[in-house]
Structure 1
Amino acid sequence: MDNDAKKLRWYNIALMAFVSVWGFGNVVNNYANQGLSVITSWILIIALYFIPYALMVGQLGSTFKDGKGGVSSWIKETMGANLAYFAAWTYWVVHIPYLAQKPQAIVIALGWAATGEGTLVKEFSPVILQTITLLIFLFFLWIASRGISSLKRIGTIAGISVFVMSLLYIALAVTAPMLTGVQVATADMSVSSFIPEFNFAYFTTLSMLVFAVGGAEKISPYVNNTHNPTKEFPRGMLVLAIMVAVCALLGSFAMGMMFDSNNIPDDLKMNGQYYAFQILGEYYGIGNVLMILYALANTLAQISALAFSIDAPLKVLLSDSDDRYVPRALLKTNKRGTPVNGYLMTAILVGILIMVPAFGIGNMNTLFNWLLDLNSIVMPLRYLFVFLAFMALMKLSDKFISDYKFVKNNKVGFAIGLWCFVFTAFACLMGMFPKVPMFTSEWYFQFGLNIITPFALLGLGLILPIMARRKR
């Protein structure tokens, strides 16, 4: 009975996964891309991609319950050490664009909290603002190198606050017409307004949807801590999918009530979260109170996420490293256990990604949108290894025993894994096409960066084993 009391139930799994996977920004960014038609896109992406993805993670986590490296451990067991190193490298290196944008988000949140509007970042040139962004990043890199964990604890509280306020937004926004009598911003709420046009422009937005629902592999270590994992883990995943679907659908509908789907503001991705809470405060006659609370909480949450994302992915790469692949110089640590050369490599790569685009992209809003789109191209690359590991597991099912199986038929399981792999790769490739007017100088500049950046980041992972071999 005591052991059963310590087991996680399906609702624990669903809530833990929901907090790690979902965020209000997912609603704002995808509404900015597609308008009200994103509601149909959410239904399709959750049913055809997110649910099988989450259940695959459940089977992989259950099969390799003793693996400490997550995805890289799964790859190592099924496909060998060489590809496992590259999986670990990919997991770390896709965080570089993420780290380049977090300081931007901190500046924007502070600007809204201090001035009550989003004009602060518009008053400076991209070069000046990106220089400020770089200084903020280097400051928190130094903070993280000293092993200070208080920021992470503060950020956890702030992150929960942001999460609660995001749910509060949906509840207050959806009920606002009934409670306050406000007019809906999108005049056309006919069925046709919810149906996407499946054209080239639409397919370039798929990577943002994939980016939004990814990350379920974070909960894989908890499969074997679940009470009756064969039944309760998939139930928790299905409940997670329902929760994500409800928040995505209602959140997008609420955005359509506040922002005209046919006339979406150009800076909605950058400022949409703050606009939404500002308008909500106007609906209920409390001014900027909700917006300022959200901006302050989001500032602390972004700071924590920045500090954590500098440290944790790098330690995943280096903690279980093999000197056949990683030069020993990168493993050098100071008295606090900080991998100093690893931090230096992070600083160089992030610094390049912060400053170089500022010289070719004309304004801060465009720069923010580009970096967000770059994240949606690069971050899902790590999900490819989840699907590779699952396909390999289906091929080697006789060798491994799992308490929980997503599907009993291995050929069907392999086909589902292949579908998710191909769809993710397709979404990342289509995401490389910029969302600015085509064939302009800025379009070519962004397109070039979108191609060069992921290949350069992944290509560096091929160089390290060569360096390690020469050192040996």
Structure 2
Amino acid sequence: MHDHQSPKKLLWYNLTLIGFVSIWGLGNVVNNFAEEGLVVVISWLIIMALYFIPYALMVGQLGSTFNADSGGVSSWIKEVANKRLAYLAAWTYWVVNVTYLAQKSQSILIAGSWLFKGNGDFVNETSSTIVQLLCLVVFLVFLYLASRGITTINRIGTIAGLSMLVMSILFIFLGLSAPALTGAKFATANMNQISTYIPKFDFKYFTTISMLIFAVGGSDKLSPYVNKMKKPAKDFPKGLIVLAMLVVVSALMGSFAMGMIFDAQHIPADLMANGAYVAFQRLGQYYHLGNLLMIIYALANALATIAALAVSIDAPLRILLDDADPQFVPNKLRQKNQNGVPINGYKLTGVLVSVIILIPAIGISGTNNLYNWLLNLNSVVMPLRFLWVFLAFMLLNKHLNKFKSEYVFVRNPKIGFLIGLWCFVFTAFACILGMVPKMSFAADPAGWWFQLILNIATPIFLIGLGFILPALARRKNEQLISK
């Protein structure tokens, strides 16, 4: 008789590393610095304490409670509510990726332009119409490759993802060390004064919160690991708290480094698109490495983005369709080709992403403006999926006596419900205000209104489509019954 070895259990630092690699990246620092400047330092502290930590710990309890379910948030909603809401949760988790896929195509082109041209002229000089047509071609190519079941890109992406993590850490180290080691001057004045970091809590400031939430969201990816830990009740919250500390340190140090390289009082208009590349280019100049750092970063970012695009085409769609209830999703949408790919689901993805890529080019002039708009749209659309996490947590606390969990975030169900409600309302508030265009109204009133209309219409359209599928499925099922 042989003893069967139990699966290796994760320790708290394993969870911390997994979470840090999957959640954090240099882009989070660059994008939020572009939105707020150095006052983002205080914003990071606020968002971590009031949002990220409770959000992550909620995920821990939900994952531990429903450890037998593999569907993530939709499975949680199904357990605490009903099948219809579970379907809508699954739909939301898939459909918010549409804007993400459209934006990734842009990122690939920008990374390629830096690799081959060594500058950011592509964003500032190329017609937005031409760029969006190129984005459409890039996306359709990868959609085709994914439909053929090609997975080699995913393996490359793992290496590229780790390289991006290394480059993010290297950026912080080199950026903070540059003044002492190379004599580089601080680009931002008065970085030694507290007033430089205090936000002005006005309307404009609150319109930028969605980008912060977009940056720290995604803790639900860690839920499957709760019951794989050696001591879930102790190590899971410990791992997440250390993760939060790492993210805070990375965000703060990264923001300081950005302030040393870029003048926070005069932020370049193309910082979101070109900022990371320019930063590594300047660091290369400081340390007499030429464009080496920029080239390495551009290559790693291009490969990581390509992999993310390929994975994001397939994985969220499979989550929606593989366990789809025929009552809500038509069978035709779930049909698979010889490669095991839900081909009609791919076609739907292709249509929706193509619309998001092409329509904005009609009313948004300039590639940089288009890039900034789409990134901000993502900060509005993507966090909508987090609402289902908070709803699940609220409903769990409503029926806490019915469920058992090895890890519990808050033992008082009323307090737990209020924490879930706080995160739900805060996310919704941030998404609504995030719809306000970041461009100057006076400079281009027509463009401002066009962006506002798109920012409101896009999430309504994408989520609204989810209410059509059940009607189609019901009609088809009735036809089958009547035959």
Using structure 2 for the length normalisation, give the TM-score.
Answer: 0.97
CA contact (8 A) 1:377 1:432 kept: yes
Provide the C-alpha distance between the structure 2 equivalents of 1:191 and 1:162, rounded to a whole number of angstroms: 31
Structure 1 residues 446-461: aligned runs within 5 Å: 446-461=451-466
Match of 1:207 in 2: 210
Provide the C-alpha distance between the structure 1 equivalents of 2:4 and 2:63, rounded to a whole number of angstroms: 24
Match of 2:240 in 1: 237
Match of 1:135 in 2: 137
Q: Does 1:426 align with 2:429?
A: yes
SS at match of 1:293: helix
Structure 1 residues 340-351: aligned runs within 5 Å: 340-351=343-354
Displacement of 1:225 in angstroms is 0.4
One-letter amino acid of the structure 2 residue matched with residue 58 of structure 1? G
Structure 1 residues 40-79: aligned runs within 5 Å: 40-79=42-81
Match of 1:361 in 2: 364
SS at match of 1:6: coil
Provide the C-alpha distance between the structure 1 equivalents of 2:402 and 2:123, rounded to a whole number of angstroms: 56
One-letter amino acid of the structure 2 residue matched with residue 89 of structure 1? W
SS at match of 1:398: helix
Q: Deviations over 1:396-444 (max 9, x none)?
A: 1100000000011111111111000000000000000000112611000
Q: Deviations over 1:29-79 (max 9, x none)?
A: 000000000000000000010000000000000000011110000000001
Structure 1 residues 334-413: aligned runs within 5 Å: 334-413=337-416
CA contact (8 A) 1:62 1:402 kept: yes
One-letter amino acid of the structure 1 residue matched with residue 228 of structure 2? N
Match of 2:447 in 1: 442
Displacement of 1:5 in angstroms is 7.2
Provide the C-alpha distance between the structure 2 equivalents of 1:307 and 1:85, rounded to a whole number of angstroms: 24
Match of 2:229 in 1: 226
Displaced runs of 4 or more, over 2 A: 1-5, 120-124
SS at match of 1:368: helix
Match of 2:154 in 1: 152
Q: Does 1:114 align with 2:119?
A: no
Match of 2:83 in 1: 81
Provide the C-alpha distance between the structure 2 equivalents of 1:331 and 1:263, rounded to a whole number of angstroms: 51
Provide the C-alpha distance between the structure 1 equivalents of 2:116 and 2:126, rounded to a whole number of angstroms: 16
One-letter amino acid of the structure 2 residue matched with residue 268 of structure 1? L
CA contact (8 A) 1:314 1:342 kept: yes
SS at match of 1:407: coil
Number of residue pairs matched?
472
Provide the C-alpha distance between the structure 2 equivalents of 1:401 and 1:147, rounded to a whole number of angstroms: 40
Displacement of 1:461 in angstroms is 0.0
Displacement of 1:120 in angstroms is 2.3
Provide the C-alpha distance between the structure 2 equivalents of 1:279 and 1:27, rounded to a whole number of angstroms: 17
One-letter amino acid of the structure 2 residue matched with residue 456 of structure 1? F
Displacement of 1:175 in angstroms is 1.1
2:168 to 156, 166, 169: 166
Provide the C-alpha distance between the structure 2 equivalents of 1:198 and 1:212, rounded to a whole number of angstroms: 20
CA contact (8 A) 1:4 1:227 kept: no
Match of 2:103 in 1: 101
Provide the C-alpha distance between the structure 2 equivalents of 1:71 and 1:273, rounded to a whole number of angstroms: 33
Match of 1:327 in 2: 330
SS at match of 1:324: coil
Q: Does 1:184 align with 2:193?
A: no
Displacement of 1:346 in angstroms is 0.4
Q: Does 1:302 align with 2:296?
A: no
Provide the C-alpha distance between the structure 1 equivalents of 2:6 and 2:53, rounded to a whole number of angstroms: 27
Match of 2:467 in 1: 462
CA contact (8 A) 2:123 2:273 kept: no
Provide the C-alpha distance between the structure 1 equivalents of 2:4 and 2:452, rounded to a whole number of angstroms: 57
SS at match of 2:401: coil
Provide the C-alpha distance between the structure 2 equivalents of 1:148 and 1:84, rounded to a whole number of angstroms: 30
Match of 1:315 in 2: 318
Match of 1:7 in 2: 9
Match of 2:480 in 1: none
CA contact (8 A) 2:211 2:379 kept: yes
Q: Does 1:217 align with 2:220?
A: yes
SS at match of 1:307: helix
Gaps of at least 5 residues in structure 1 are none
CA contact (8 A) 2:387 2:424 kept: yes
Displacement of 1:202 in angstroms is 0.3
Displacement of 1:176 in angstroms is 1.0
CA contact (8 A) 1:360 1:445 kept: yes
One-letter amino acid of the structure 2 residue matched with residue 351 of structure 1? S
Provide the C-alpha distance between the structure 1 equivalents of 2:7 and 2:134, rounded to a whole number of angstroms: 50
Match of 1:125 in 2: 127
Q: Deviations over 1:230-260 (max 9, x none)?
A: 0000000000000000000000010000001
One-letter amino acid of the structure 1 residue matched with residue 245 of structure 2? I
Provide the C-alpha distance between the structure 2 equivalents of 1:267 and 1:49, rounded to a whole number of angstroms: 29
Provide the C-alpha distance between the structure 2 equivalents of 1:51 and 1:324, rounded to a whole number of angstroms: 37
Gaps of at least 5 residues in structure 2 are 478-483
Provide the C-alpha distance between the structure 1 equivalents of 2:68 and 2:149, rounded to a whole number of angstroms: 27
One-letter amino acid of the structure 2 residue matched with residue 105 of structure 1? S
One-letter amino acid of the structure 2 residue matched with residue 52 of structure 1? P
Using structure 1 for the length normalisation, give the TM-score.
Answer: 0.99
